[in-house]
Homo-oligomer: A and B are copies of this chain.
Amino acid sequence: MLHVIPLGGLGEIGLNAMVIACRGEMLLIDCGLMFPPIGTLGVDIILPDFRYLRQNASLLKGILLTHGHEDHVGALPFLLNEVPVPVYGTRFTLGLVRHRLHELGVDADLREIEPRNPFPVGAHFKVEATRVTHTVPDAVGYVVHTPEGPVIHTGDFKLDPDPIDGLRTDLERWGELGEQGVLCLLSDSTNSERTHETGSERLVEQTFERLFHDVRGRIVVSMFASHLHRIHHVLDLARKLERKVVTMGRSLIRNIEMARELGFLPSVTDGLFVPLEDAASLPPERLLVLATGSQAEPRAGLSQLAAGDGPLRLGPGDLVVLSARAIPGNERAVSGLIDQLLWRGARVVYPDLEPGVHVSGHASQPQQRRVLDLIRPKNFVPIHGELHHLHRHLATAKESGLSPEQLLLAQDGDLLVFEEGRGRFSGSVPTGRIYQDRFGQGVVTPDILQERTRIAETGILVAVLVIERASLSLLAGPQLSGQGLNLDEQVLLPRVAEDARAFFLEMSPQLRGDDARVREELAKAVRRAFKLYTSKRPVVVPMVLKV
């Protein structure tokens, strides 16, 4: 009997974490985080609730990483802090992870693995990585050979006939396994709604070559800092065009450094780069800037250039390429960034204007179908997506000829059981989302978020009263202090304080002795007085001090 238990990633983009368990042993594939939507105040990261893994810590034999993106590895330091187990991944993935673990002071047993090179995890799993093409180097999926049969986990993948690094998704191996019989396929659903084939990275290469060719000014390219294939290609182009390269953005600088150390940027030499300080003195046609900030992150390289901060000033003749799509929720900010760059006089090229400046890293509907047709698994579980992505991927599997009992639409926390080649649902395990700041500190609950939102929307009004302990007479106050109030409201405060004063004088001596009651009445009085002048209802914080 085999268990497959998604702890995250089936119902959202991010939080990817999949448990596979058999005969008292577990392994976990990926350990990702999620970035909160705009407006989740003071929350920097969202982690999966790992209660289930903590409760079963002794059974967990290892963590397999598919690739180094935050939505697949970002929660790892926080889990390892509580459940230290070996972590398996390819060289580049471990390179990215090592840095982050170091930053957070977490020790780990990192074990480098290679595609098509099987290794045991625990006593009952034989694991084998399978090369896949994605937007970060050295990405893999996994085949977990279990006593019930092989399970294929695709990781995030695309089908690119001619990837920059020549490393194609290993369809051959998936095909072989398909012929031998695959118990269950867990496959990436991100692009399940897209009906056009996801294009090759070569398209971006060609578009860049065409765009860069006759630029007389500076060239600025912004992309995700982990997209080393594309970075590699831009660096090669810079060399050919005899442009020096400035890198803006800490993650970009670190990733290029690491990639070079690990041998992922063979053609790149030190002489190619110049520091930002020297960039302004170079002739514009001799400069190429690689910058983070394609999502309009406030402090990233591209935002600095747009704001005109720093030594480099963009202007007419310069070309800026946004080589990434806006992540859902960032559209408005990215639009604003484009406008700022245009306002400086630069030419700005972005996917809506020139689709070839970016291609996705995920297989689309017809390509997902091809993988299903190739493997023909006994059971299929769509993974990595919001519910509507999973639904659409399931429909594709149905179109490929799988029967309803082979299709398992699981969500986070569902416990799937596989026995004698068939899968079924069997209850659930605890799961959820933990909201934290970027250090993984300070749990924020939905109640706290609601309190923060109320404060932020209406402002806050602190009312303080000082009472003589013995006589219970009013010594001072109410004194009011407002934060986040609008201009009309701020000028009201002295009047509101005056109006609110009467309540205490009207309270009977017994009631005045009841602190909670005094606070309550103070808040009421302030709210009432405030309401006389305005329709807004700020949060009132009553404080009573006795001396």
Among B455, B536, B543, contact of A464 (Cβ-Cβ < 8 Å): B543
Q: Which residues of B contact A481 (CB under 8 A)?
A: 462, 541, 543
Q: What sequence of 0s and 1s flags, for each residue 373-401 of chain A, a beta carbon within 8 Å of any chain B beta carbon?
A: 00000000000001110011000000000
Residue of B nearest to A452 (CB): B484
Q: Which residues of B contact A459 (CB under 8 A)?
A: 42, 448, 452
Interface residue A103 (Cβ < 8 Å from any Cβ of B): no
Comparing A197-205, A230-238, A247-255, A471-479, the segment that makes contact with chain B is A471-479
A37 to B331, CA, bound (A): 10
Interface residue A339 (Cβ < 8 Å from any Cβ of B): yes
A459 to B450, CA, bound (A): 12
Q: Which residues of B contact A444 (CB under 8 A)?
A: 486-487
With A348-B388, A388-B339 as known contacts, state yes or no: A545 contacts B452, CB within 8 Å.
no
Among B353, B476, B535, B541, contact of A547 (Cβ-Cβ < 8 Å): B476
Question: A325-361: which residues lie under 8 A (CB-CB) from chain B?
Answer: 328-329, 331-333, 335-336, 338-339, 342-343, 348, 350, 352-353
Question: A422-476: which residues lie under 8 A (CB-CB) from chain B?
Answer: 437, 439, 441-445, 448, 451-453, 455-460, 462, 464, 466, 475-476
A536 to B442, CA, bound (A): 9
How far does the Cβ of A210 sit from chain B's closest Cβ, in whole Å? Answer: 17
- Let me know if B484 and A455 touch, CB within 8 A: yes
Tallying the copies of this chain within the complex gives 2
Interface residue A546 (Cβ < 8 Å from any Cβ of B): yes
Question: A191-217: which residues lie under 8 A (CB-CB) from chain B?
Answer: 193
- Let me know if B331 and A451 touch, CB within 8 A: no
Interface residue A115 (Cβ < 8 Å from any Cβ of B): no
Among B328, B448, B460, contact of A486 (Cβ-Cβ < 8 Å): B448
- Let me know if B534 and A442 touch, CB within 8 A: yes
- Let me know if A388 and B338 touch, CB within 8 A: yes
A464 to B544, CA, bound (A): 10
How far does the Cβ of A530 sit from chain B's closest Cβ, in whole Å? Answer: 12
Interface residue A38 (Cβ < 8 Å from any Cβ of B): yes
- Let me know if B39 and A485 touch, CB within 8 A: no
Residue of B nearest to A342 (CB): B387
A475 to B329, CA, bound (A): 51
- Let me know if B442 and A452 touch, CB within 8 A: no
Interface residue A539 (Cβ < 8 Å from any Cβ of B): yes
How far does the Cβ of A294 sit from chain B's closest Cβ, in whole Å? Answer: 15
- Let me know if A455 and B443 touch, CB within 8 A: no
- Let me know if A339 and B386 touch, CB within 8 A: yes
- Let me know if A487 and B353 touch, CB within 8 A: no
Interface residue A114 (Cβ < 8 Å from any Cβ of B): no
Interface residue A521 (Cβ < 8 Å from any Cβ of B): no
Q: Is the interface of A mostly helix, strand, loop or mixed?
A: mixed
Q: Which residues of B contact A448 (CB under 8 A)?
A: 459, 484-487
Interface residue A507 (Cβ < 8 Å from any Cβ of B): no
A42 to B541, CA, bound (A): 19
- Let me know if A483 and B460 touch, CB within 8 A: yes
Interface residue A488 (Cβ < 8 Å from any Cβ of B): yes
How far does the Cβ of A455 sit from chain B's closest Cβ, in whole Å? Answer: 6
Interface residue A285 (Cβ < 8 Å from any Cβ of B): no
How far does the Cβ of A499 sit from chain B's closest Cβ, in whole Å? Answer: 19
With A38-B38, A342-B387, A386-B339 as known contacts, state yes or no: A543 contacts B439, CB within 8 Å.
no
- Let me know if A460 and B460 touch, CB within 8 A: yes
A466 to B547, CA, bound (A): 8
Q: What sequence of 0s and 1s flags, for each residue 138-176 of chain A, a beta carbon within 8 Å of any chain B beta carbon?
A: 000000000000000000000000000000000000000
- Let me know if B457 and A42 touch, CB within 8 A: yes
Interface residue A86 (Cβ < 8 Å from any Cβ of B): no
How far does the Cβ of A282 sit from chain B's closest Cβ, in whole Å? Answer: 28
A545 to B465, CA, bound (A): 9
Q: Which residues of B contact A49 (CB under 8 A)?
A: none
How far does the Cβ of A238 sit from chain B's closest Cβ, in whole Å? Answer: 26
With A386-B335, A466-B476 as known contacts, state yes or no: A488 contacts B456, CB within 8 Å.
no
Q: Which residues of B contact A328 (CB under 8 A)?
A: 331-332, 335
A15 to B238, CA, bound (A): 43
- By Cβ-Cβ distance, the 3 closest A-B pairs, closest first, are A456-B456, A442-B486, A339-B387
**Sample (28) of A-B pairs whose CB atoms are under 8 Å apart:** A11-B339, A37-B332, A38-B329, A41-B456, A41-B484, A42-B456, A42-B457, A42-B484, A338-B387, A339-B387, A342-B388, A350-B388, A353-B388, A353-B392, A441-B536, A442-B489, A444-B486, A444-B487, A448-B459, A451-B483, A455-B456, A455-B483, A462-B462, A466-B466, A476-B546, A476-B547, A479-B543, A479-B545
Interface residues in chain A, defined as those with a beta carbon under 8 Å from any beta carbon in chain B: 11, 37-39, 41-42, 193, 328-329, 331-333, 335-336, 338-339, 342-343, 348, 350, 352-353, 386-388, 391-392, 437, 439, 441-445, 448, 451-453, 455-460, 462, 464, 466, 475-477, 479, 481, 483-489, 534-536, 539, 541, 543, 545-547
